């Protein structure tokens, strides 16, 4: 992907940023005190666009691999016309294998640049009304009943909670939440239940606890079993690990009611946008989710959120050293920034903002 015709003043920087978590973050997949995400800055004609991608362990990604993949695109990006962003991302998808976090970071920095160049916030670029942005859930990771209660109480400003389950402690976890809150709950099993009978049993119990949807009850490959489960439960079943990109969606129809779309899985805003419309065209519900990440990635997803039924865009709220401010959450409602592009502002914290 070499292109010697570098544009005057073009620059592309990559850096791994370590984001520290407020609480140890535990799901069925991992437990951690921090997450490393890839940050990128694309500069052209005196305008800088910021991007971020969270490498997903589930898909064998890590931050160093993500950074190297982004660096491999450097010469191509420096020689490209950023207003041809669709062509650029098509080339990137064609030539770079896997490394979806790196693709997401590049796509987001390009789209931030494009919005700034045109002088419009990304939601306007996509023709959306920021008032249509939905409520976001606030996520409660797996923990002891005592800590779960404390986390739920700390989340008093959020009208809908998303609770992680999928271990042997599911009933205690939901019991702890219900001991201190009667809010609507959405539950994410992260592939944690291993057979269809167990999934039906657990979901039927969750329905009685005021749970309004269940995410990824069974392992990603168990699509036929999920279809069997769906025929036996009432609440919507949303695909997360079963759905990475648009090409995954057709086989999920009828097994799932909807899909959870994340920029880190899709490889950026453009593919996420395609996925939203594709899922809608099949009559499926749409959710925008995120990984633990800074305001760069979460704000990028939030600009598309007026299109979706559900938002789970709280990854930046879980970290203590966010380098940027972008989308805000007011009593659960996503409030999109009105500045051009992503509309980010640098925070005063000493974290990396690409100026090195």
Phi, psi of 163 (to 5 degrees): -110, 130
Q: Which of residues 232-271 bind Mg ion (CB under 5 A)?
A: 240
In this complex, which beta carbon is closest to Mg ion, that of residue 170 or of residue 215?
A: 215
Nearest distance, CB of residue 226 and Mg ion, angstroms: 14
In this complex, which beta carbon is closest to Mg ion, that of residue 66 or of residue 213?
A: 213
Per-position x/- string for 197-216, each x denoting binding to Mg ion as judged by CB under 5 A, each - no binding: ------------------x-
In whole angstroms, give the CA distance from residue 236 to residue 238: 6
Nearest distance, CB of residue 293 and Mg ion, angstroms: 14
In this complex, which beta carbon is closest to Mg ion, that of residue 52 or of residue 215?
A: 215
Q: Which stretch binds Mg ion (CB under 5 A): 187-195, 267-275, 323-331, 343-351?
A: 187-195
Answer positive or negative: Cα dihedral of 128, 244, 32, 203: positive
In whole angstroms, give the CA distance from residue 39 to residue 97: 19
In whole angstroms, give the CA distance from residue 272 to residue 298: 13
Nearest distance, CB of residue 110 and Mg ion, angstroms: 27
In this complex, which beta carbon is closest to Mg ion, that of residue 61 or of residue 240?
A: 240
Question: Could you tell me if 247 and 271 are in contact, meaning their C-beta atoms sit under 8 angstroms apart?
Answer: no
Nearest distance, CB of residue 188 and Mg ion, angstroms: 4
What are the start-end ranges of the E strands in 130-196?
A: 138-140, 161-164, 185-188
Which residues are paired to 211 by β-bridges? 185
Nearest distance, CB of residue 310 and Mg ion, angstroms: 11
In this complex, which beta carbon is closest to Mg ion, that of residue 215 or of residue 271?
A: 215
Question: Could you tell me if 235 and 213 are in contact, meaning their C-beta atoms sit under 8 angstroms apart?
Answer: yes
Task: Give Cβ neighbours of residue 281 (< 8 Å, ≥ 6 apart).
Answer: none
**Chosen residue from 52, 61, 107, 188 binding Mg ion by CB under 5 A:** 188
Contact residues for Mg ion, defined by CB under 5 A: 188, 215, 240
């Amino acid at each position: 992907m070499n292109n010697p015709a570098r544009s005057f003043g073009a620059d592309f920087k990559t850096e791994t940023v370590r984001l520290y978590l407020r609480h140890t973050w535990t799901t069925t997949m991992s437990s951690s005190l921090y997450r490393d995400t890839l940050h990128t800055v694309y500069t052209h004609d005196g305008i800088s666009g910021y991007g971020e991608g969270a490498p997903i362990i589930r898909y064998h990604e890590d931050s160093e691999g993500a950074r190297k993949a982004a660096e491999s695109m450097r010469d191509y990006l420096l020689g490209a016309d950023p207003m041809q962003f669709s062509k650029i991302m098509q080339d990137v998808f064609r030539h770079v294998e896997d490394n979806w976090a790196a693709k997401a970071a590049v796509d987001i920095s390009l789209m931030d640049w494009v919005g700034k160049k045109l002088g419009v916030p990304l939601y306007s670029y996509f023709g959306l009304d920021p008032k249509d942005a939905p409520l976001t859930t606030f996520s409660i990771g797996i923990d002891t009943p005592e800590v779960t209660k404390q986390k739920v109480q700390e989340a008093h400003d959020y009208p809908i909670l998303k609770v992680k389950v999928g271990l042997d402690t599911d009933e205690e976890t939901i019991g702890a939440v219900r001991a201190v809150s009667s809010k609507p709950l959405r539950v994410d099993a992260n592939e944690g239940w291993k057979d269809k009978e167990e999934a039906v049993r657990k979901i039927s119990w969750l329905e009685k606890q005021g749970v309004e949807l269940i995410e990824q009850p069974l392992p990603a490959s168990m699509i036929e079993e999920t279809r069997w489960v769906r025929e036996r439960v009432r609440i919507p079943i949303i695909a997360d690990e079963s759905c990475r990109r648009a090409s995954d969606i057709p086989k999920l129809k009828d097994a799932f009611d909807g899909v959870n779309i994340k920029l880190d899985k899709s490889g950026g805003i453009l593919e996420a946008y395609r996925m939203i419309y594709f899922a809608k065209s099949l009559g499926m519900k749409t959710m925008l989710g995120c990984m633990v990440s800074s305001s760069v990635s979460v704000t990028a997803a939030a600009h598309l959120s007026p299109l979706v039924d559900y938002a789970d865009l709280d990854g930046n709220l879980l970290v203590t050293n966010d380098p940027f401010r972008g989308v805000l959450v007011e009593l659960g409602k996503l409030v999109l920034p009105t500045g051009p592009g992503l509309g980010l502002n640098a925070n005063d914290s000493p974290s990396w903002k690409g100026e090195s």
